[in-house]
Amino acid sequence: MTLLVVTAVDAEAQAVARGLPAGADVLTAPVGVGPAAAAAGTARLLALAGGRYRAVVSAGIGGGIGLAPGATVLASRSIAADLGADSPDGFLSLDELGFGSALAPVDAGLLDRLRAALPGAAVGDVLTVSTVTGTVAGTAELLRRHPDALAEAMEGYGVACAAQGAGLPFAELRTISNPVGPRDRAAWRIGDALAALTHAAPAFATLLG
């Protein structure tokens, strides 16, 4: 059976494809930016697959929290960090509102295999946001609510929802392009992050055994 690796954009999909071992039964596909596009695009691929896929991985670049550009992060959980409600007492998560959960755990077996294949990768929470954090105040509030977070991206939770709906195991891998914080395009290292994604890609083949 095939492993499905979904990215937001084509540049990420190409970076993964460049690093895959020859003959690896891995399909890499860009599904769009943001959690809604990621969920819809992944669900469409799964619905048309006829049971072809054995697992789903959300992969791509993202902002790092305490990590330098080029670092690799494996999600222990994918968290919809801005899914909830504002209130006079502060932000209320989906869990606090009682409308479901903003926490999507990753499959323990997939995570164990990825950790073994990528011993230098950091492991921790990866946040999914619809609006990328770009201010000092926003960063402080994000870290107050999610002190164990290592990265921020825009698709993981959406992909996780699609995988869960299809009954498939899910994992998330991010490579760091910039620090989370005040928006500073001069600090972005997208080339380094894409190169790290290519370097990490052989680990996906270990999920096929």
Q: Per residue in 17-73, pLDDT tens?
A: 999 999 999 999 999 999 999 999 999 999 998 889 999 999 999 999 999 999 999
Strand-pairing partners, residue 26, are 3
pLDDT value for 4: 98
Token pair, residue 139, equals: 């960063």
Using CA atoms, how far residue 87 sits from 92, 93, 97, 149, in Å, is 7, 11, 11, 23
Rounded CA-CA distance 132/202 in Å is: 29
Fold entry, domain 2-208: Rossmann fold (3.40.50)
Pick out the chain residues at pLDDT < 70.
none
Distance CA 142, CA 125 (A): 12
- This prediction's pTM: 0.94
For 47-73, give one letter per residue: b (16+ CB within 10 A) or e. eeeeeebebbbbbbbbbbbebebbbbb
